[in-house]
Structure 1
């Protein structure tokens, strides 16, 4: 519980508990210290961090650390290291090494406007986001259309005081979801005066202009205080065609070796199935020139998988530029506000209230659409049909151009998001105990609109009516329309504006009591108890036309879902002084759930030890259990679908080939996969432990090293189409992808289940039956485990001549990572080094700050460890990014700072074998160097 003007006496335990980072045996106090006042803000009193006085001086870390490390990023540090948003800063956490969807790679996906964090690579939904210790509402759209997660992109940086990050199990205090860690965003309180901050910048490579305006202020009286913040942030989208290394299909660093050159996208292609010579039907002369310079005449070739011989397919229209008609950074216009107020009654009770709001309009583009066959409502597009005009089976592709949309602005899909978090409470003392009662409600609403082709209208325009009712569909392609650009009016006539609506909410209340029960020989026995009630839910409404049971929109599916769950919980914690230099902690929690799943309750506990043999030396250790109730969309999903290009492994192996040799559309084609909620899922259970040391080497220099180990059983995952198809082929042929013996017999329970998930239909003229659909869905995974080392160094020193210096360095290294998909699978104990694992094995972040008189400067560095190369034959080099800034206090109240982020304009490490667009791994940013200037003015 924070100190306030009423003079309430905080106990050792209540200080951390009220801050929502008291984790008992799982959490300790902050490893970083409060920032010194910026020049010109005037002298400030030492800031009380939930009862532990931490100033900008050289306070010993060993006296404020607990049994587990907590990383703290202050608002001053966020600015000093060059970041504008909270998510930008969190992206550099060394513990945040897991791969996630981002603005670069998800523009056409389910959550392209969300900003997830993936601590320890255990998955975005396994990191719990707290705002002032309270659960934030989930992002309304499920991650990848499958699971819930929390968005770290809607937190106003103007209101942030600091961010506290615990990376490890924390269910003994927080219950479900705190498996990989907890990120608690602490907002400003007790702010006096007003401060205006204006920042503007751009990229030096093109696009990405942005501006940010913040107003933070506060007032206080004898028995009251208010703090408020208002922020407006806007930036423009960045397109792939604004980056020369990803604006063309010719940027592919590894063309097919037998061809020796890249080929454009076959944007107008009409061909007989297969890869036989001359299978492409030549378009009429001058066709490619009709499309406004987007297409070029090209004679396409391919490589026959079995013989690796080059075959001349024939002429068509190719596009080098179509890959670049997508945004790689979203355009945003965001308003956010925050209010916090307190009132002290005469009896020592304090009332408080907090309100946080967010309103955002965003736009992004996922590229142009493509027509690849007629559409049958309820079934989807047909990739092979019998054409009565040519009297043969045909395949096709017809990629739309931006001009057919009326320009690139016609490609935008738009988001409107609104979130509101309201809370209020009372706190005070009863005898020697502190108490706190809190009630809160958080809501998050999102709306998405996009223009997409209607399947029936596309079919009517290009193909006309179906000419049969059974067997291979028969149509007659209208060649004049196929080879003629659409006008924007024609596109709009055969498309619909799709509108998605979604909302999520969480209502929560808690009551805490904490204090010292009695004195023991080594000190007082600390105690804390908490009662929690939470009810959360969501409602996702996608357009009817994209639902997998309807499938009326062309080449697009979606998902609906909705439900709620209630949780009642009680927890207790003890801080036990064993010896003057040895302290233990013990925490336990019971959660009772009310929903449609079999998850009824969960019991979690944790303990920790802190041993201080010297004043400047701390040894610590912790152990805890954790759990995660199944994500609600895993449970309440009413049905979702997705199209993905997959290898037909059974067809490949049946042809006598291995997976590496099966290239081309005969073996790789679009597959429709469906998924549905599973109320039978059980909870995930975890165990987490760690041990470490904190050493104040000399005055101002401290070092910490900690080992962590997190194990998760029954983790929920969605079986991928690739996993199902590989194992289906193994069950049918007795061979793996590399033609080694398959481990399960065809009549095993595993094979019966896997084979039942693949639906096949006859495919005349093709090597085997063709995949008609895959039934995916969530299952309880058997095992996830990760272990490694976190290390941090802080060094501050002052010189009379050169000024004050501060150095911070953090390092995380994964020692071991294991996974097991199903209990019938072997445990992959070398997953960390698996060539298919694109999580970073190590990350480093560090900064050096200098301040002298009115001047200050910072150099910040983040290092990404090596990743496998795309051909899985080795690893690419580590990757460094550098930020720098220089600031000056120009008057007593005004400060000016110039920032350069990504000083050396680095984009991504080179991988000569990365032959899939965008030709580098999605974890690397294609934005490049950013320059900006910031002006601050304090009204004191």
Structure 2
């Protein structure tokens, strides 16, 4: 039985130590511990630590200190709602290179956060995984672009001679989320051939917030905001109160909502919709994997592999709704706009109101999104040897990702026809007189006419032709000098299409919805070389360099050379000292380059509008004193073809100590620097610049070219309209603008005590971020933001496993600790009189424990039981977070699932 993180790549024999290739180098070496730290997660680790997917194992890594958009956020409107991502070193999902058998695969064709590309870990067949090797430092000198925070190399099974069938069932303590998995792995190995295949079927039921008693009611919020969701209402924009509908209107609406009130605002029709979102997606997956090889002669071998996965999923998001500012006619003459300065005489019978209706599931159905995804990859190659020490390999690899989603949405023109009204009345506002009253019942005819289905179709591909040559070139006094050389040609591309309504600007779109489109292709050519020089018996240097040329005629990347230098030194046999330096780079994401005219929504503090509304009687206006509320704004963005590559450097220094048999520990310091980071222009930054330009602050001249450019990117309602000066939209594009630097320490400990009473194991990994410096633009300070109140990434993470094995029995407990993070907002008392944050309140660290136990009844039959989140631990709720689900879903993905139980039977023959 394996214990802890067994180094699956280290093959020991009584009289021989076999050379192996470890992620981070193409040179085979005799020891898996080399000049750069590599974490190995074996197939046994998956089972012993309670990991059911590759994503489970990778997100638990101590080096995975970044936040991600998981299932919980996907149901609330995330761009990649069905994808599984990791965020090593908190640089972002796209800054970790994900490989399968050392080769690139097609990226998810829909961009993360509507902007950047990444690999979806859910697209890799779990049954086929033999181990995962994670290089926790940059490696562009070996692999090229994207290997900035590290490299994840998923190594699939091969040379299997047995047949293994396994069946697993799972459920959750609090209901929902039932799972079932069936796997078959088989193969054959002969004198000249080897073939392995793996098949898997997986089914996962959804979990909704209402399935958890701490997420199913407005009373669950920590801030004591327990009023019902505002389902149907009229909000008087002038008086700041709701227009009382009367209890009968709520009853007659057919919505099932109740007549209720909110203190200071008045009465409306409300409901408790807490917990209606999915917190775990429904998913059904079928996958297949096949690999094999054939020996032609002593010096030549053919090899191939292929994988395919079909995944269908569903999530449930927020209810359909209508919300619009309108001018509504009052037949009883109760309007209040006759004295309003923007209206005046003639508007005695009008109210300026917010008109809102959130529709129940019984009225318009659930707002679900269906996903249909297929991923495949295939490789064919030939490899051989010549001479006594030289080996070569040539292969062609192609992968493709096809993606389609369908979700119910409201047709824009029908919303206005039925509920909002379309007649212009001179103030840029609809007249509020739709054909259906706000409180009228929704008939089947209206529902069928109002609801349609938005369809997104996208695909991506990657094609690589590669040649690798390895061997030994000469004998030195301390041993042979080894080398590796590689040449690659790669072409990648994607195509992201929305249906005709999504980006429609003529009133025939989807109500309150926009999207992003794009597509393009680019070619890359690369050559690289490595050399391992044994200077002394206990001192080795490894030098590497790679040149990548982008021939896409679309960006300013061109060519890029990235070198690296590494060294290992053993002052004594039990201690190894290692050091490394390398440069890295990242070509601009495809969607940063090829995005078409796309839309998005964001929230900003509009200082200019806030200043316009400021009452001079309250004193001189300043943004801090005004305490301006944030508001939603629609923006547009498109790609840029003048982007350059992001440039980085990384350093490492550490120790590997093995003072005795079965005991080892490592301590490594790392530092990563990255500049010219590509990201979209900041919408809030534009609003800040506009305010400075208007007031001549920070050296801004309103007539300067800079300010004129800022003004051209911001759209506001013209003078004379009731919403004069209101922020209508912004237009942005990606630029090379940011810089960051992070340093920290990684530590591991592994110990195995063997006795006649059984084997006791301990394995631990620890990461602590020492500093995280960030600079958004050249005008900003380059400052440490690790402990800023807005930074919800943990400062540290720990993973530890204690195991015990005796004969046919095995048990292990694995604990995970996520360090403390700040509240979403800081209370007023944490600021000084100048508005500076002087104290930060932090949430408690979050602990989760997994328990696994197995027993081998015979050589062929084994049973395993697993409990995830043994003590049903929940993350601390943010005292200021008034909206569901009342905790930080980005810092604690999957926390709402709670305790899970799994039982598995494995039979081998």
Is TM (by shorter chain) over 0.5? yes
Contact 2:203 2:284 in 1 (8 A): yes
Counterpart selection for 1:647 from 600, 605, 609: 605
Contact 1:132 1:184 in 2 (8 A): yes
Query: How do residues 31-110 of structure 1 correspond to structure 2 at under 5 angstroms?
Result: 32-34=6-8, 51-52=19-20, 63-107=31-75, 108-110=77-79
Would you say 1:934 and 2:904 are equivalent positions?
yes
Structure 1 position 185, deviation (Å)? 0.2
Q: Distance in 2 between matches of 1:830 and 1:798?
A: 46
Counterpart selection for 1:880 from 833, 847, 860: 847
Deviation per residue, 1:855-883 (Å, 9 max, x gap): 11110111000100122341111110000
Pairs aligned (count): 859
Q: Distance in 2 between matches of 1:797 and 1:194?
A: 32
Contact 1:358 1:419 in 2 (8 A): yes
Structure 1 position 550, deviation (Å)? 5.4
Shift of the 463–549 alpha-carbon distance from structure 1 to 2, 3 Å rule, reads closer
Would you say 1:709 and 2:709 are equivalent positions?
no
Farther off after superposition, 900-909 or 753-762: 753-762
Shift of the 476–98 alpha-carbon distance from structure 1 to 2, 3 Å rule, reads closer
Shift of the 298–762 alpha-carbon distance from structure 1 to 2, 3 Å rule, reads farther
Q: Any unmatched runs of 5+ in structure 2?
A: 23-28, 328-339, 615-619, 827-839
Would you say 1:889 and 2:856 are equivalent positions?
yes
Match of 2:867 in 1: 900
Structure 1 position 749, deviation (Å)? 5.8
Farther off after superposition, 768-777 or 351-360: 768-777
Contact 1:651 1:768 in 2 (8 A): no
Structure 1 position 748, deviation (Å)? 6.0
Match of 2:415 in 1: 458
Match of 2:208 in 1: 239
Shift of the 697–99 alpha-carbon distance from structure 1 to 2, 3 Å rule, reads same
Structure 1 position 293, deviation (Å)? 7.2
Secondary structure of the corresponding residue to residue 193 of structure 1: coil
Match of 1:594 in 2: 551
Secondary structure of the corresponding residue to residue 546 of structure 1: coil
Secondary structure of the corresponding residue to residue 729 of structure 2: strand
Query: How do residues 485-504 of structure 1 correspond to structure 2 at under 5 angstroms?
Result: 485-504=441-460
Contact 2:299 2:386 in 1 (8 A): no
Farther off after superposition, 82-91 or 474-483: 474-483
Q: Distance in 2 between matches of 1:53 and 1:778?
A: 39
Deviation per residue, 1:517-537 (Å, 9 max, x gap): 011122111111100110000
Structure 1 position 348, deviation (Å)? 2.3
Would you say 1:576 and 2:533 are equivalent positions?
yes
Farther off after superposition, 706-715 or 520-529: 520-529
Shift of the 389–823 alpha-carbon distance from structure 1 to 2, 3 Å rule, reads same
Would you say 1:119 and 2:88 are equivalent positions?
yes
Match of 1:26 in 2: none
Would you say 1:539 and 2:533 are equivalent positions?
no
Match of 2:406 in 1: 449
Q: Distance in 2 between matches of 1:869 and 1:624?
A: 36
Contact 2:325 2:352 in 1 (8 A): no
Would you say 1:265 and 2:229 are equivalent positions?
yes
Match of 1:343 in 2: 294
Structure 1 position 330, deviation (Å)? 0.4
Counterpart selection for 2:589 from 602, 608, 631: 631
Deviation per residue, 1:581-601 (Å, 9 max, x gap): 110010001111111112111
Contact 2:5 2:45 in 1 (8 A): no
Match of 1:10 in 2: none
Q: Distance in 2 between matches of 1:479 and 1:662?
A: 41
Match of 1:808 in 2: 763
Contact 1:163 1:184 in 2 (8 A): yes
Secondary structure of the corresponding residue to residue 385 of structure 2: strand
Deviation per residue, 1:183-233 (Å, 9 max, x gap): 000000111110011111111112101111111111111110101100111
Shift of the 62–487 alpha-carbon distance from structure 1 to 2, 3 Å rule, reads farther
Would you say 1:841 and 2:803 are equivalent positions?
no
Secondary structure of the corresponding residue to residue 84 of structure 2: coil
Would you say 1:138 and 2:97 are equivalent positions?
no
Query: How do residues 167-566 of structure 1 correspond to structure 2 at under 5 angstroms?
Result: 167-255=136-224, 261-274=225-238, 276=239, 279-290=241-252, 294-301=256-263, 312-321=264-273, 323-373=274-324, 390-406=349-365, 410-431=366-387, 432-468=389-425, 470-478=426-434, 481-547=437-503, 549=505, 552-566=509-523
Q: Distance in 2 between matches of 1:208 and 1:658?
A: 50
Contact 1:526 1:575 in 2 (8 A): yes
Structure 1 position 388, deviation (Å)? 8.0
Structure 1 position 361, deviation (Å)? 0.5
Secondary structure of the corresponding residue to residue 61 of structure 2: coil
Match of 2:779 in 1: 824
Shift of the 485–722 alpha-carbon distance from structure 1 to 2, 3 Å rule, reads farther
Q: Distance in 2 between matches of 1:196 and 1:542?
A: 42
Secondary structure of the corresponding residue to residue 541 of structure 2: strand
Q: Distance in 2 between matches of 1:696 and 1:250?
A: 54
Contact 2:247 2:259 in 1 (8 A): no
Contact 1:807 1:846 in 2 (8 A): yes
Shift of the 292–931 alpha-carbon distance from structure 1 to 2, 3 Å rule, reads farther
Structure 1 position 345, deviation (Å)? 1.1
Deviation per residue, 1:826-871 (Å, 9 max, x gap): 21x2211111111111100111121111111110111000100122
Contact 2:18 2:30 in 1 (8 A): no
Farther off after superposition, 135-144 or 888-897: 888-897
Q: Distance in 2 between matches of 1:723 and 1:249?
A: 35
Match of 1:14 in 2: none
Secondary structure of the corresponding residue to residue 748 of structure 2: strand
Q: Distance in 2 between matches of 1:427 and 1:389?
A: 86
Farther off after superposition, 742-751 or 509-518: 742-751
Structure 1 position 613, deviation (Å)? 1.2
Structure 1 position 390, deviation (Å)? 4.5
Deviation per residue, 1:294-330 (Å, 9 max, x gap): 52222334xxxxxxxxxx3332112222x42211110
Secondary structure of the corresponding residue to residue 871 of structure 2: coil
Secondary structure of the corresponding residue to residue 915 of structure 1: coil
Secondary structure of the corresponding residue to residue 192 of structure 1: coil
Query: How do residues 711-790 of structure 1 correspond to structure 2 at under 5 angstroms?
Result: 711-733=673-695, 744=700, 746=702, 751-762=707-718, 769-790=725-746
Contact 1:911 1:920 in 2 (8 A): yes
Shift of the 75–375 alpha-carbon distance from structure 1 to 2, 3 Å rule, reads farther
- What is the CA RMSD across the aligned residues, in angstroms? 2.8
Deviation per residue, 1:765-803 (Å, 9 max, x gap): 8796100101122121230111100111111111102x0
Deviation per residue, 1:428-465 (Å, 9 max, x gap): 11113110111110000000001100010111112344
Shift of the 480–564 alpha-carbon distance from structure 1 to 2, 3 Å rule, reads closer
Contact 1:204 1:931 in 2 (8 A): yes
Q: Distance in 2 between matches of 1:712 and 1:887?
A: 45
Q: Any unmatched runs of 5+ in structure 1?
A: 1-29, 38-43, 55-60, 256-260, 302-311, 377-383, 736-741
Contact 1:81 1:883 in 2 (8 A): yes
Would you say 1:912 and 2:879 are equivalent positions?
yes
Shift of the 263–605 alpha-carbon distance from structure 1 to 2, 3 Å rule, reads same
Q: Distance in 2 between matches of 1:389 and 1:511?
A: 80
Secondary structure of the corresponding residue to residue 508 of structure 1: strand
Deviation per residue, 1:447-485 (Å, 9 max, x gap): 0001100010111112344144x5323424248631024
Structure 1 position 290, deviation (Å)? 4.2
Contact 1:128 1:178 in 2 (8 A): yes
Q: Distance in 2 between matches of 1:251 and 1:763?
A: 45
Secondary structure of the corresponding residue to residue 559 of structure 1: coil
Structure 1 position 746, deviation (Å)? 4.7
Shift of the 934–388 alpha-carbon distance from structure 1 to 2, 3 Å rule, reads farther
Structure 1 position 762, deviation (Å)? 3.6
